[in-house]
Amino acid sequence: MKSVLFLATALSIMTPAMAQTQTAQPAAAAGMPFLLQPWTGPHGGVPPFDRIEPQMFPPALELAFDRQRAEIRAIAGNPAPATFDNVIGALQASGEELDRVSAMFGLMTANMNSPAYQALDREWSPKFAALDDEINLDPKLFARIDAVYQSRASAKLTPTQLRLLERTWEGFVRSGAKLSAADKPKLAAINQELATLFTGFNQKLLKDEETALPATAAEMQGVPDGVKSAAKAAAAERKLTGYAIVNTRSAVDPVLTFADDRALRERVWRAFVNRGDNGDANDTNATIARIVKLRAERAKLLGYPTHANLRMADTMAVDPAKAEALMLRVWGPAVARVKEEVADMGVIAGHPIEPWDYLYYAEKVRKARYDLSEAETKPYFELNNMIQASYWAAEQLYGLKFTEITGSIPVFHPDVRVFEVTREGRHVGVFYRDDFARTGKRSGAWHTTYRLQRGFPTRQTVLNSNNNNFAKPGPGEPVLISYDDANTLFHEFGHAIHFLLQDVTYPGLAFTPRDFIEYPSQVNENWLLTREVLDRFARHYETGKPMPTALVEKIEKAQTFNQGYATVSYLSSAIVDMKLHTTADGVVDPDAFERETLAAIGMPREIVMRHRLPQFAHLFSGDGYSAGYYSYLWSETMDADTWAAFKEAGSVWDRQVADRFRSILLSTGNETDRAEAYRKFRGRDPDVGALLKKRGFPAN
């Protein structure tokens, strides 16, 4: 039953040789909806993205839901004594058709979000939630799961089977399986309403992000040519003259960093930070207030004091207080660093620093202190070179090879590129790249898995993707990205590496806790600024010459620059998230709660949260990161300590350390306890001192 208990987590967080190990796909049944048919083509079958139309989904989803229900009824009603194989194994093997159609539904509604797909999302998100509850709250099904669980001591299960059994049982309990007959409908009603609210929030935010501010050539003075080219293309798309600055981070940050016109920076900043908070049809405050209230009610119904306690029950941190303690330990040094950064900028600015000034004057300080500017480095961070850099690093560390496939794999947009991934001559997956922003595509950067690796019930390989929102230039122009963009590319690629290296038996043990899942991606960021990568791939887009040694050295010296800003903007969002979801009754005014919480923790006035509540999609487009935004810091603590392990080996390319990292932590999915796995890799728990050192903060 991956589609309900499992695949939903993925939609957040497939050579001739392969055909010999992949179980043959059955022929499509007559009359079966196209989207339910087994994927055909190379590499164990690939999604038919080029043939999908919105109207195909309703009949396919209806039938997929019915078939999933029939499979569950067969498992729950099996008259044979309950065993691991006929209950847990059967659940793992169920839902193949729903898996396929769900993967395509999630992909299309996130990347091709036309009005037709928005309507589908509004209609079907509550139906997905209802199916979840129908299965999770089925008393006959849980009785059989519980029977296997209670007899586990004498069942002679392997350690992997025992872990899957225990996690399945615990997952059903957290989802309400033990509730009374009177309380189960209450839980189902909450989940239904939440699903509708999540979709509504997402679509309101998307509307605000599709808006664009016009700008003149004079106002765009100082902005790099590549950014201006993208802004001109955005204006042409909207039938505007001059330039248009789309209300997304990838378009806004370069303007805030380089535009000399302070009034333009302020207009752009205000439009960006007020997404979802303008008192109009796209205002999200009432939606957020209702979501937080419903989450609190659900937690209480399930026996947890707060939503944070419920969400964190299956994480490495477990206790909200433990996560908050880590955040506050880093918060103090970060705020102190911000004060230093503001003082440095004030000397250059000659006036108080406002939030729309921070990136602009930070760039001036960087230039003055390190003789380094983003404009100087950007010509060396050409997108295709950085993609090749990420692939080269993955090959050096883990033996992964990426070979581009042209023409034979269907894609959902012409910009998408496809790569076959092999390791030691063996096919391990197909990797899709969707790098450019476009209307209808949600903002940000993310990793998606369309098909997971597994060994049961049949062996199957990975289909996954990285999705970015880089500004697409004009025809023939290079795609020059910032260091931060290149870092994001390596980060999201770290997720892809994690899933491509995975080697688990049961799909139910493929996904790790939320505060672990960011760890592999954050570790992967470290290789971007290594000399080996920069010397080979940071080549000037015009001359092809490698980045000069002097420039590399300046980048290395500036690695901890502006960490006060980066840490405070992130941590403020994470702390507000945790405090919001440890509010027992869930009664909040989002704007007031945000304002009062920030005042209580001493938020510097010169910085705004990276994600203000009205646009905090991590929290309110689904449950995924709610009470979980801290996980980036939790994961970074392990990341910094892991990078220290590579350094201690004498080379950050040490293959023995990389092999241990892969075999103990990356390939094992969730087959072993993640904290125990980390201790096995490092010999101890992670050291937060490594994180503070990496960010350039004193170890307090």
| d(C-alpha 39, C-alpha 45), whole Å | 5
* Confidence at residue 5, expressed as pLDDT on a 0 to 100 scale: 33
Residues 383 and 370 both lie in one domain: no
Strands 462-470 and 426-436: parallel
Mean local confidence (pLDDT), 190-212? 94
Q: Is residue 291 part of a domain?
A: no
Mean local confidence (pLDDT), 461-472? 93
Average pLDDT taken over every residue of the chain: 92
Residues 126 and 172 both lie in one domain: yes
Residues 546 and 448 both lie in one domain: yes
**Residue 39: is its pLDDT beyond 50?**
yes
Residue 597 phi/psi, 5-degree rounding, is -65, -45
Mean local confidence (pLDDT), 12-38? 49
Instruction: Specify the CATH number for the domain of residue 317.
Output: 1.10.1370.10
Q: Is residue 235 part of a domain?
A: yes
The pLDDT tens digits of the residues spanning 55-87 come to: 999 999 999 999 999 999 999 999 999 999 999
Mean local confidence (pLDDT), 462-467? 96
Percent of the chain, pLDDT > 70?
95
Task: From 530, 557, 584, give the residue that closes a domain.
Answer: 557
* Confidence at residue 648, expressed as pLDDT on a 0 to 100 scale: 96
pTM above 0.95, yes or no: no
Residues 532 and 443 both lie in one domain: yes
- The residues, any chain, with a CB within 8 Å of residue 688's CB and separated by 6 or more, are 326, 329, 330, 637
**Residue 15: is its pLDDT beyond 50?**
no
Task: From 557, 586, 614, give the residue that closes a domain.
Answer: 557
Residues 420 and 525 both lie in one domain: yes
* Confidence at residue 32, expressed as pLDDT on a 0 to 100 scale: 78
* Confidence at residue 88, expressed as pLDDT on a 0 to 100 scale: 98
Residues 492 and 614 both lie in one domain: no
> In the structure, what pLDDT confidence band is assigned to residue 6 with cuts at 50, 70 and 90?
very low
CA proximity to 616, closest of 346, 236, 287, 330: 287
Strands 212-215 and 417-423: unpaired
> What residues form DSSP beta bridges with 422?
401, 427
> In the structure, what pLDDT confidence band is assigned to residue 374 with cuts at 50, 70 and 90?
confident
The pLDDT tens digits of the residues spanning 615-647 come to: 999 999 999 899 999 999 999 999 999 999 999
More confident residue, 439 or 600: 600
| d(C-alpha 482, C-alpha 505), whole Å | 40
Q: Is residue 54 part of a domain?
A: yes
Residues 514 and 392 both lie in one domain: yes
Of 97, 363, 374, 492, the active-site residue reads 492
Residues 363 and 384 both lie in one domain: no
Q: Is residue 614 part of a domain?
A: yes
* Confidence at residue 17, expressed as pLDDT on a 0 to 100 scale: 28
Least confident of 237-241, 589-593, 668-672: 237-241
Residue 492 is a catalytic residue? yes
Place of tokens 């919105």: 54
Residues 82 and 57 both lie in one domain: yes
Q: Is residue 125 part of a domain?
A: yes
CA proximity to 577, closest of 312, 389, 232, 264: 312
Q: Is residue 551 part of a domain?
A: yes
* Confidence at residue 31, expressed as pLDDT on a 0 to 100 scale: 62
**Residue 18: is its pLDDT beyond 50?**
no
Instruction: Specify the CATH number for the domain of residue 535.
Output: 1.10.1370.40
Residues 62 and 149 both lie in one domain: yes
Mean local confidence (pLDDT), 358-372? 95
**Residue 12: is its pLDDT beyond 60?**
no
**Burial class for 475, CB neighbours closer than 10 Å (0-12, 13-18, 19+):** exposed
The range of the structural domain enclosing residue 356 comes to 300-377+561-635+678-694
**Residue 111: is its pLDDT beyond 90?**
no
> In the structure, what pLDDT confidence band is assigned to residue 445 with cuts at 50, 70 and 90?
very high
Total Cβ atoms within 10 A of residue 410: 16
Mean local confidence (pLDDT), 266-292? 98
> In the structure, what pLDDT confidence band is assigned to residue 510 with cuts at 50, 70 and 90?
very high
Q: Is residue 440 part of a domain?
A: yes
Residues 118 and 103 both lie in one domain: yes
> What residues form DSSP beta bridges with 480?
382
Residues 435 and 369 both lie in one domain: no
In contact, 658 and 397? CB cutoff 8 Å:
yes
B/e letters for 647-673, b = 16+ CB within 10 Å, e = fewer, are eeeeebebeebbebbbebbbbbbbbbe
User: What is the domain count for the chain?
Assistant: 4
Sheet bearing 417-423, strands edge to edge: 400-405, 417-423, 426-436, 462-470, 446-451
Q: Is residue 345 part of a domain?
A: yes
Percent of the chain, pLDDT > 90?
86
Interior angle at CA 487, CA 482 and CA 490, nearest 5? 130
